[in-house]
Amino acid sequence: DIQMTQSPSSLSASVGDRVTITCRASQGIRNDLGWYQQKPGKAPKRLIYTASSLQSGVPSRFSGSGSGTEFTLTINSLQPEDFATYYCLQYNSYPRTFGQGTKVEIK
């Protein structure tokens, strides 16, 4: 199974900050990775697919990068509505596996 190691598990940031979340895959997954945002009591929402493609309707302050085993989600100029938990997901091989999640909290 491919393990997805996501870091940090949580972070505190202020509105306007730049935030970076990392996912490392235990083996190469090309660019078969997505990033998801989840707010309490809600379904996950896709932000990024194929590692760096921005989902239609998602603000451009969100960006993704990486390929192979190292991936990054960056949020430029954090907004109040961005406080949530973020997950990466690899869909290169079975079983599909998620990172453990990163909770972004208000400082």
Partner 1 sequence: EVQLVESGGGLVQPGGSLRLSCAASGFTFSDYWMSWVRQAPGKGLEWVANINQDGSEKYYVDSVKGRFTISRDNAKKSLFLQMNSLRAEDTAVYYCARTTHFDYWGQGTLVTVSS
Quote the Cα angle for 25-38-102, to 5°: 45
| Tokens representing residue 15 in the block | 């509105």
Decide: 88 and 4 in contact? Cβ < 8 Å. yes
Residue 96 Cβ vs partner 1, minimum distance, rounded to whole Å? 4
Which residue's CB is nearer to partner 1, number 2 or number 17? 2
What is the Rg, in whole angstroms, of the alpha carbon atoms belonging to the chain? 13
Name the residues that contact partner 1, by CB under 8 A. 34, 36, 38, 42-46, 49-50, 55, 87, 89, 91, 94-101
> Which phi and psi angles does 59 have, rounded to 5°?
-60, 150
Distance, in Å, from the CA atom of 103 to the CA atom of 83, rounded to the nearest integer, reads: 8
Residue 88 Cβ vs partner 1, minimum distance, rounded to whole Å? 10
Residue 6 Cβ vs partner 1, minimum distance, rounded to whole Å? 9
Decide: 52 and 31 in contact? Cβ < 8 Å. yes
Which residue's CB is nearer to partner 1, number 33 or number 78? 33
Residue 31 Cβ vs partner 1, minimum distance, rounded to whole Å? 11
Which residue's CB is nearer to partner 1, number 80 or number 95? 95
Which residue's CB is nearer to partner 1, number 36 or number 71? 36
